[in-house]
Chain A
């Protein structure tokens, strides 16, 4: 079956612009996670969805970052007024349920802020 997909695969934007990153999880997976991976760094947790609600937003680095999930499926991560330090690979993962379940990762979106 289809895995987790993310779009776009690459995004180059200018400082101050808004960007939207999309994640399509595996069908039937109720949990969805967003992570950020900077060059040479580990994965940094951003936000977690169970269904359409986000019980854990603790990792969002600032109020410029927001995310939503609709229909228990597609999720969008929005970064407003992008800064150069936002440049990273943004990874999405989904799992069947939230606890004790392996996460399936998408290929990521590489964001470059000039």
Chain B
């Protein structure tokens, strides 16, 4: 059974304090790993897709990396507007996506 876990469950950072979020997965035949950001009361917003181990993608203060068992979302010098829940999802052999429970990030000014 495809599974996705994320850690930590919640993370509080001071503005400018860099850190990483983890997404660990167990799937048979990974087609893609996706990162989303979700603000309260809104639907998730797409950030990145990673397809193969070793791949990296960057967007502003965010950088996503992928290995054969996990993905990291690195946040460099975060700002309060980066506060959100970050969701990881995998697409395996089927058509559906399996989402992790998310990491709730708070960046304090």
Interface residues of A (CB under 8 A from B): 4, 33, 35, 40-45, 48, 50, 55-56, 58-59, 91, 93, 98-100, 102-108
Nearest chain A CB to B71 CB, angstrom units:
15
Kindly state the separation between the CA atoms of A55 and B94 in the bound complex, as whole angstroms.
Answer: 10
Q: Are B87 and A103 in contact (CB under 8 A)?
A: no
Q: Are A102 and B34 in contact (CB under 8 A)?
A: yes
Q: Are B94 and A56 in contact (CB under 8 A)?
A: yes
Q: Are A59 and B96 in contact (CB under 8 A)?
A: yes
Tally of contacts, chain A with chain B, CB under 8 A = 64
Nearest chain B CB to A27 CB, angstrom units:
18
Q: Are A106 and B95 in contact (CB under 8 A)?
A: no
Q: Are A45 and B49 in contact (CB under 8 A)?
A: no
Q: Are A43 and B87 in contact (CB under 8 A)?
A: yes
Q: Are B31 and A104 in contact (CB under 8 A)?
A: no
Given A42-B101, A105-B43, A106-B43, A100 and B96 contact (CB-CB distance below 8 Å): no
Interface magnitude class on chain B: 20 to 34
Q: Which of B10-65 contact A (CB under 8 A)?
A: 31-32, 34, 36, 41-46, 49, 51
Kindly state the separation between the CA atoms of A58 and B89 in the bound complex, as whole angstroms.
Answer: 17
Q: Which of B52-109 contact A (CB under 8 A)?
A: 87, 89, 91, 94-102
Q: Are B101 and A100 in contact (CB under 8 A)?
A: no
Nearest chain B CB to A3 CB, angstrom units:
9
Nearest chain A CB to B2 CB, angstrom units:
10
Choose one: B87, B96, B102; the contact of A45 (CB below 8 Å).
B96
Q: Are A103 and B102 in contact (CB under 8 A)?
A: no
Kindly state the separation between the CA atoms of A49 and B102 in the bound complex, as whole angstroms.
Answer: 25
- Chain A residues with CB below 8 A from B31, complex form: 99-100
Nearest chain A CB to B7 CB, angstrom units:
13
Give 18 CB contacts A-B under 8 Å.
A4-B43, A35-B99, A40-B101, A41-B101, A42-B87, A42-B100, A45-B98, A45-B99, A48-B96, A56-B96, A58-B94, A98-B95, A99-B32, A100-B32, A103-B46, A106-B43, A107-B42, A108-B42
